Amino acid sequence: MCGYETCGIAEITAGSFFSWFVFMTATFSILMCMDVLECFLHTLRLHWVEFQSKFYKGAGYLYTPFSFDSIFKKSVKL
């Protein structure tokens, strides 16, 4: 191991390049793992949603959005 005072520019450049290569390889590997995980989880979520739709029973009541007019009309009729 040498310091900056005793090493030549070629040794410093080679060490920097090797460090950069290791850093970029690790960064790329982490990003690719995250991308694969993202694709897997999205596919898993879609399969889950499609599976759950087999058990859906639409036995509810009609959705009516909130409005002050409808509340006022109901209170006037009472």
The answer as to whether 51 is a domain residue is yes
The answer as to whether 32 is a domain residue is yes
pTM reported for the whole predicted model = 0.52
- The domain total for the chain is 1
By residue range, what is the domain housing residue 37? 28-56
The answer as to whether 62 is a domain residue is no
The answer as to whether 40 is a domain residue is yes
The answer as to whether 72 is a domain residue is no
The answer as to whether 15 is a domain residue is no
Yes or no: say if 42 and 50 are a contact pair by the CB < 8 Å rule: no
Percent of the chain residues topping a pLDDT of 90:
35
pLDDT tens per residue across span 27-63: 999 999 999 999 999 999 999 999 988 887 878 888 8
| Residue the block writes with tokens 């040794």 | 11
